[in-house]
């Protein structure tokens, strides 16, 4: 029964005493036991901890207390979110077995809201790549077709929701790592405005780009989870102090009179015809619902991929310097400290992580800093300006989320550039810091899910969710 309910319905039933958190949890744990051997959404399942939390929630309900807006709702966490007492590996050998002594802020907020944390999900190592094949613990498979990738880097979280293992999950999005797997797995995935959600306890990849956000089966559930995790956090210096809007209350307002722009630069070369067709259908659905839909331009977005793959690796080379065999996880013994660090990092990091560390270190090196990293930051400024100009004309923008539907496992692993191109539509909003959401919108010619992306200006989550809800209703 519970697996057919939305997260909001499930929590409401638990809070009203219509069913127990414990009984609904067992349904989800049963689904994980039955099917995750094939999908591999999870690195670890924390069934005993979840059962203990469920029992406490049922006791609170019996005593007349409100356990919170996510009472009894199972939630999966990407394995780069620190979780007290549970290994947090980033799907890397260098962190295998490391157990954080604290919770990330988003994890604390989930616990306070009554959520049941059922496990840590697989990802591309340190969130680097777009297929969840670059994990030290093996690939995750797309529940719609297990010969295909689920997208990445948050592929385990997306697959957990798509497979019905959990109603909700959290991921992180540095260049599209929530939205792209959401599109490929046919679920809703949202990247908030940079600073809306605390990054405290997120193992950093690229600190000026990383954001934590929700996966859900519906726009309403994504809005509910966003409201729980968002808000000011004194432990994160980049946290925005403004109060979080009640976006759930905006979902039924429709799009009458809203100005919607379809981004031309994100609809051209490299976008599969069947994906482009779904975006056109989505724009027509918004027009039929009363929105004013026109072509839009964000000229500098065509340089987003190039700028990102200098800025993000540069920040990664700095952030990942802390994994040296001394402070965390793996340590490979050697005759001296320098050799120990080299041996630890050589054995502990996978090929893609090494590739990005070397690229970032090169871009930051003396003699190349201005030519590469400095120039990329100037391009980032142009992208921010071009988005601002577009939002002077439009309330939201529309584009594909991913250029194609889910591709076969192994199809792009030998060609890093082909893999990087999967993020061409999502990267620009990471560079600008603006929010964006992927909404499932039909299927491609191969019968696999297609995602349509709604982009909004900074702190524009309310209007973004309104448009997303209208799109969802037009295909349901």
Predicted confidence (pLDDT) per residue in 414-434, tens digit: 888 889 999 999 999 999 999
Percentage helix, strand, coil, to 5, in the chain?
Answer: 45, 15, 40
Distance from the first to the final alpha carbon of the chain = 21
| Per-residue confidence (pLDDT) for residue 2, from 0 to 100 | 62
Number of domain units in the chain: 1
Average pLDDT of the segment spanning 334-348 = 96
| Per-residue confidence (pLDDT) for residue 209, from 0 to 100 | 98
Q: Report the C-alpha gap between 57 and 70 in whole angstroms.
A: 10
Residue 385 inside a domain? The answer is no
Average pLDDT of the segment spanning 137-143 = 98
> 327 pLDDT exceeds 60?
yes
pLDDT in tens, 9-47: 999 999 999 999 999 999 999 999 999 999 999 999 999
At residue 45, what are phi and psi to the nearest 5 degrees? -110, 125
| Per-residue confidence (pLDDT) for residue 476, from 0 to 100 | 63
CATH assignment of the domain containing 223: 3.90.1300.10
The SS3 call for residue 122 is coil
Question: Given pLDDT bands bounded at 50, 70 and 90, which one contains residue 334?
Answer: very high
Residue 51 inside a domain? The answer is yes
Residue 175 inside a domain? The answer is yes
| Per-residue confidence (pLDDT) for residue 4, from 0 to 100 | 77
For 76, the domain range is: 2-250
> 109 pLDDT exceeds 90?
yes
User: Quick one: DSSP state of residue 175?
Assistant: S
Sequence-separated (6 or more) residues with CB below 8 Å from residue 108:
none
User: 185: closest CA among 157, 165, 224?
Assistant: 157
Per DSSP bridges, beta strands 116-121 and 396-400 are: unpaired
Residue 426 inside a domain? The answer is no
How far from 275 is each of 88, 252, 399, CA to CA, in Å? 36, 27, 10
* 78 counts as catalytic: yes
| Per-residue confidence (pLDDT) for residue 29, from 0 to 100 | 98
Average pLDDT of the segment spanning 86-93 = 97
Contact between residue 144 and residue 154 where contact means Cβ atoms under 8 Å apart: no
pLDDT in tens, 439-466: 999 999 999 999 999 999 999 999 999 9
Both structure tokens of 311: 């800025």
Instruction: Provide, rounded to the nearest whole percent, the portion of the chain with pLDDT above 70.
Output: 99
How far from 174 is each of 34, 200, 426, 428, CA to CA, in Å? 32, 15, 9, 11
Which single residue is written with the structure tokens 């207390």? Answer: 65
Mean pLDDT (the chain) is: 97
Its pTM stands at: 0.97
Residue 20 inside a domain? The answer is yes
Per DSSP bridges, beta strands 292-296 and 211-216 are: unpaired
User: 228: closest CA among 68, 121, 63?
Assistant: 68
How far from 326 is each of 322, 330, 338, 345, 347, CA to CA, in Å? 9, 8, 11, 11, 14
The SS3 call for residue 33 is helix
| Per-residue confidence (pLDDT) for residue 328, from 0 to 100 | 87
How far from 267 is each of 263, 280, 310, 368, CA to CA, in Å? 7, 10, 24, 33
Helix boundaries (H) for 16-132: 21-39, 47-62, 105-112
User: Quick one: DSSP state of residue 203?
Assistant: P
Q: Which of 91, 131, 153, 438 is catalytic?
A: 153
**Higher-scoring residue by pLDDT: 190, 476:** 190
* 177 counts as catalytic: yes
> 107 pLDDT exceeds 80?
yes
Per DSSP bridges, beta strands 116-121 and 42-45 are: antiparallel
Residue 200 inside a domain? The answer is yes
Average pLDDT of the segment spanning 334-347 = 96
DSSP annotation string for 249-300: GGTTS--TT-EEEEEGGGSSTT--HHHHHHHHHHHHHHHHTT-EEEEE--GG
Residue 359 inside a domain? The answer is no
pLDDT in tens, 267-319: 998 999 999 999 999 999 999 999 999 999 999 999 999 999 999 999 999 99
User: Helix axis angle, 461-475 relative to 273-288, nearest 10°?
Assistant: 100
Instruction: Using only the alpha carbons of the chain, give its radius of gyration.
Output: 21
Average pLDDT of the segment spanning 211-231 = 98
Q: Which of 172, 177, 198, 438 is catalytic?
A: 177
| Per-residue confidence (pLDDT) for residue 97, from 0 to 100 | 83
Residue 28 inside a domain? The answer is yes
> 3 pLDDT exceeds 80?
no
Q: Which of 78, 120, 191, 412 is catalytic?
A: 78
Question: Given pLDDT bands bounded at 50, 70 and 90, which one contains residue 8?
Answer: very high
User: Quick one: DSSP state of residue 320?
Assistant: G
Which single residue is written with the structure tokens 């093996």? Answer: 138
At residue 189, what are phi and psi to the nearest 5 degrees? -140, 135
pLDDT in tens, 146-166: 999 999 999 999 999 999 999
């Amino acid at each position: 029964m519970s697996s057919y309910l939305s997260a909001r319905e499930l929590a409401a039933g638990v809070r009203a005493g219509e069913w127990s958190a414990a009984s609904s949890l067992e349904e989800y744990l049963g689904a994980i036991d039955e099917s995750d051997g094939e999908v591999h959404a999870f690195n670890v399942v924390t069934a005993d901890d979840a059962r203990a939390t469920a029992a406490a929630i049922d006791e609170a309900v019996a005593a007349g207390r409100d356990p919170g807006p996510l009472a009894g709702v199972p939630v999966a966490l990407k394995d780069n979110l620190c979780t007290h007492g549970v290994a947090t590996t980033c799907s890397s050998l260098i962190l295998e077995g490391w157990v954080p002594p604290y919770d990330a802020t988003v994890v604390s907020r989930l616990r306070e809201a009554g959520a049941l944390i059922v496990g840590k999900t697989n990802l591309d190592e340190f969130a680097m790549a777009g297929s969840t094949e670059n994990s030290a613990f093996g690939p995750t498979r797309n529940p719609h077709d297990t010969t295909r990738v689920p997208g990445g880097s948050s592929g385990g979280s997306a697959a957990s929701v798509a497979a019905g293992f959990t109603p909700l999950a959290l991921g992180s999005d540095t260049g599209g790592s929530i939205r792209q797997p959401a599109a490929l797995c046919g679920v809703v995935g949202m990247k908030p405005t940079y600073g809306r959600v605390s990054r405290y306890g997120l193992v950093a990849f690229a600190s000026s780009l990383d954001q934590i956000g929700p996966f859900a089966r519906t726009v309403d559930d994504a809005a509910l989870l966003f409201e729980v995790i968002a808000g000011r956090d004194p432990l994160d210096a980049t946290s925005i102090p403004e109060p979080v809007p009640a976006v759930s209350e905006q979902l039924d307002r429709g799009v009458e009179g809203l100005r919607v722009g379809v981004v031309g630069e994100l609809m051209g070369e490299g976008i599969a015809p069947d994906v482009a067709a779904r975006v056109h259908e989505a724009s027509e659905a918004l027009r039929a619902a009363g929105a004013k839909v026109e072509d839009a331009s964000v000229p500098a977005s065509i340089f987003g991929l190039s700028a990102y793959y200098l800025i993000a690796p540069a920040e990664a080379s700095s952030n990942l310097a802390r994994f040296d065999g001394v402070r965390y996880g793996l340590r490979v013994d050697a005759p001296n400290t320098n050799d120990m660090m080299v041996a630890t990092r050589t054995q502990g990091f996978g090929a893609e992580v090494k590739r990005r560390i070397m690229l970032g270190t090169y871009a930051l090196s003396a003699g190349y800093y201005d030519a590469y990293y400095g120039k990329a930051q100037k391009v980032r400024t142009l992208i921010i300006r071009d988005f601002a100009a577009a939002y002077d004309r439009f309330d939201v923008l529309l584009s594909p989320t991913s250029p194609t539907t889910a591709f076969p496992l192994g199809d792009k692993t030998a060609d890093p550039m082909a893999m990087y191109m999967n993020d061409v539509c999502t990267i620009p909003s990471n560079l600008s810091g603006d929010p964006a959401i992927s909404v499932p919108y039909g299927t491609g010619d191969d019968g696999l899910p297609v995602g349509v992306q709604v982009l909004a200006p900074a702190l524009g989550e309310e209007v973004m969710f309104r448009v997303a809800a209208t799109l969802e209703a037009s295909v349901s």
